[in-house]
C-alpha cells in the first residue's frame, strides 16, 4: 500500500496468550495498521512488551476512544458475544478470536449487530494461512489425487497435566473442541463446504480433567468422510493431514511453525518466517513417494486481507456466512457427542 494511505487504527482487548502471542505481533508487523491501545488488567505486562502503547484498564474505556477503527477481541470465549456487540455499538469494526461465540445463535446475534451498525466483523481464522493447510489445499485444488474421498486433520499434542487456566476448567466456552475445533472445521469447510451430518465423540481423558480434552468428529458428505481429531495424550504427535483420493494419497507430517516462531519472539516477516522444511508427500501406490515443497505460511495475510476490506477494496476475508457455517458445525458436533446420535448442522444465516 502507498505510504500516504490511511492506517487502520487498532485496539486490542485482552493480553493473554492469544492477544500477546498472535494479535499484537501480527498487527504491528502488517502494513497499514497502527496498534493504538490495549485493554488489559496487567498494564505492566503490556508496557514491558509494547512500550509507548496506551493501556486501558477495561474494555469500555478502550471502546470510548475515538482514535480506534478496529477492535480485536482476544478474551475468554464466553465474553466474545457481549464484547463484540459493545464494540459494534460503539461504531468499531471487529475481529473476534475463535470461536466466534459460544453458539450459532450467539454468532447470529453478532452478525445482526454488525449489519445494523454497518461495520465489518471477522473471525480470526489465521490457520487458513498455515503452511501445512496451504500445501494440502493447493494439491487438492490442482487435482493431484483426483476426487477426495477421505480427509483426516489432526492436532495431537502431549500435555498430560491439566493446567490451571480457563480453557481447561469447567465453565462456558471451555474444552478442547471450542479451542481447536474452530480451526479444524473452518479448514474443512474451506475445502468441501458444509456437511450433511456430523458424528462426534468427546472425552475427558487426563487425570483431573473436568472438560473434554479429546475430540473425534466425522463430517459426512455424499461420498466423502472428513475426520477431525484433537487430543492431549499423543506423545510424538501424529501426521497433521492424511488425504486419500481416487488417484492417490497426500501426507503432511509436520504442522505449521508460525505459532512456535511467535512464541520464540520472531517478528512476523523476519527471515525464515513461516517457512516449512517438511515436504508434502504424494503417493500413488506404485511409484516412490513424490515430495512437494510446502509453501511458506503467513498469518499476516489475514490482517492484510482485512485491511483491504476495511478500505473498501476487497471482501471480508472471513465472511459472516462462513463464520456462521463453522458455528453450525461446532454446535452439531457438541449435540452429537452429547446424544450419541448424528446431528444435522443448522442451515442458513
Residue 322 lies in a domain: no
User: Worst-scoring range by mean pLDDT, 2-6, 148-152, 212-216, 345-349?
Assistant: 2-6
Q: Is 47 in the same domain as 100? A: yes
Q: Indicate if 118 and 132 belong to the same structural domain.
A: no
Tell me if 315 is assigned to some domain. no
**225 and 96, same structural domain?**
no
Residue 72 lies in a domain: yes
Same domain, 216 and 198: yes
How many domains does the structure of the chain reveal?
A: 2
In a domain, 305, yes or no: no
CATH code for the domain in which residue 13 is found = 3.40.50.720
Q: What is the mean pLDDT of the chain?
A: 96
Is the pLDDT at 220 greater than 90? The verdict is yes
Average pLDDT (47-52) is 96
Q: How confident is the model at residue 199 (pLDDT cuts 50, 70, 90)?
A: very high
Domain for residue 59, yes or no? yes
Q: Please give the Cα distance from 307 to 301 (Å, whole number).
A: 10
Whether residue 268 sits in one domain with residue 164: yes
Mark whether 203 and 271 lie in a shared domain.
yes
User: Is residue 267 situated within a structural domain?
Assistant: yes
Q: How confident is the model at residue 341 (pLDDT cuts 50, 70, 90)?
A: very high
- pLDDT confidence tier of residue 175, bands split at 50, 70 and 90: very high
Q: How does residue 4 score in pLDDT terms, banded at 50, 70 and 90?
A: low
Identify the domain boundary among 124, 148, 168: 124
Maximum pairwise Cα distance, the chain: 64
In a domain, 83, yes or no: yes
pLDDT at site 242:
98
116 and 136 together in one domain: no
Contacts of 330 (CB under 8 A, 6+ apart): 99, 104, 177, 178, 181, 182, 185
Same domain, 108 and 139: no
C-alpha cell at 61: 474505556
pLDDT in tens, 242-288: 999 999 999 999 999 999 999 999 999 999 999 999 999 999 989 99
Lowest-pLDDT choice from 2-11, 12-21, 282-291, 303-312: 2-11
Which has the closest alpha carbon to 53: 92, 18, 10, 87? 10
- What's residue 348's pLDDT? 61
- Residue 174 lies inside a defined structural domain of this protein: yes
Average pLDDT (73-89) is 98
What pLDDT does residue 169 have? 87
Q: Binning pLDDT at 50, 70 and 90, where does residue 14 land?
A: very high
In terms of domains, do 146 and 169 share one?
A: yes
Q: What is the pLDDT of residues 149-170, one digit of tens each?
A: 999 999 999 999 999 988 888 8
Average pLDDT over residues 49-59: 96
Last residue of a domain, one of 63, 95, 124: 124
User: What are 92's three cell numbers?
Assistant: 468499531
Same domain, 41 and 61: yes
Residue 116 shares a structural domain with residue 63: yes
Q: Which residues contact 286 (CB under 8 A, 6 or more apart)?
A: none
- pTM of structure: 0.95
Q: Are residues 116 and 197 in the same domain?
A: no
Q: Which of 34-38, 49-53, 139-143, 166-170 has the lowest mean pLDDT?
A: 166-170
Count of alpha carbons within 13 angstroms of residue 30, beta-carbon side: 23
- CATH code at position 239: 3.30.360.10
Is pLDDT at 187 greater than 80 in this prediction?
yes
Query: Range of 120's domain?
Result: 8-124
Amino acid at each position: 500500500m502507498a505510504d500516504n494511505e490511511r492506517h487502520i487504527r487498532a485496539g486490542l482487548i485482552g493480553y493473554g496468550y492469544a492477544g500477546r502471542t498472535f494479535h499484537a505481533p501480527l498487527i504491528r508487523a502488517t502494513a497499514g495498521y497502527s496498534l493504538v491501545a490495549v485493554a488489559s488488567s496487567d498494564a505492566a505486562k503490556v508496557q514491558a512488551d509494547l512500550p509507548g502503547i496506551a493501556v486501558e484498564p477495561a474494555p469500555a474505556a478502550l471502546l470510548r476512544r475515538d482514535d480506534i477503527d478496529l477492535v480485536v477481541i482476544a478474551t475468554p470465549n464466553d465474553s466474545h458475544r457481549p464484547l463484540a456487540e459493545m464494540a459494534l455499538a460503539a461504531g468499531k469494526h471487529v475481529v473476534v478470536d475463535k470461536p466466534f461465540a459460544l453458539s450459532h445463535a450467539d454468532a447470529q446475534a453478532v452478525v445482526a449487530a454488525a449489519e445494523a451498525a454497518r461495520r465489518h466483523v471477522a473471525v480470526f481464522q489465521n490457520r487458513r494461512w498455515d503452511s501445512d493447510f496451504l500445501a494440502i489445499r493447493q494439491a487438492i485444488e490442482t487435482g493431484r489425487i483426483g476426487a477426495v474421498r477421505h480427509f483426516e486433520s489432526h492436532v495431537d499434542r502431549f500435555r498430560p497435566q491439566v493446567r490451571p487456566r480457563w480453557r481447561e476448567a469447567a465453565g462456558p466456552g471451555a474444552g478442547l473442541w471450542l479451542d481447536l475445533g474452530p480451526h479444524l472445521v473452518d479448514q474443512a469447510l474451506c475445502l468441501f463446504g458444509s456437511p450433511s451430518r456430523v458424528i462426534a465423540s468427546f472425552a475427558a481423558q487426563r487425570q483431573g480433567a473436568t472438560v473434554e480434552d479429546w475430540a473425534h468428529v466425522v463430517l459426512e458428505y455424499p461420498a466423502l468422510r472428513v475426520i477431525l481429531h484433537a487430543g492431549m495424550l499423543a506423545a510424538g504427535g501424529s501426521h497433521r493431514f492424511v488425504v486419500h483420493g481416487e488417484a492417490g494419497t497426500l501426507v503432511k507430517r509436520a504442522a505449521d511453525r508460525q505459532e512456535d516462531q511467535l512464541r520464540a519472539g520472531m517478528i512476523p516477516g523476519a527471515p525464515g518466517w513461516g517457512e516449512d522444511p517438511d515436504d508434502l508427500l504424494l503417493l500413488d501406490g506404485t511409484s516412490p513417494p513424490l515430495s512437494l515443497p510446502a509453501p511458506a505460511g503467513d498469518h499476516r495475510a489475514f490482517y492484510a486481507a482485512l485491511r483491504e476490506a476495511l478500505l473498501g477494496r476487497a471482501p471480508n476475508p472471513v465472511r459472516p456466512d462462513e463464520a456462521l457455517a463453522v458455528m453450525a458445525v461446532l454446535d452439531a458436533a457438541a449435540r452429537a457427542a452429547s446424544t450419541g446420535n448424528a446431528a444435522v448442522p443448522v442451515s442458513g444465516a
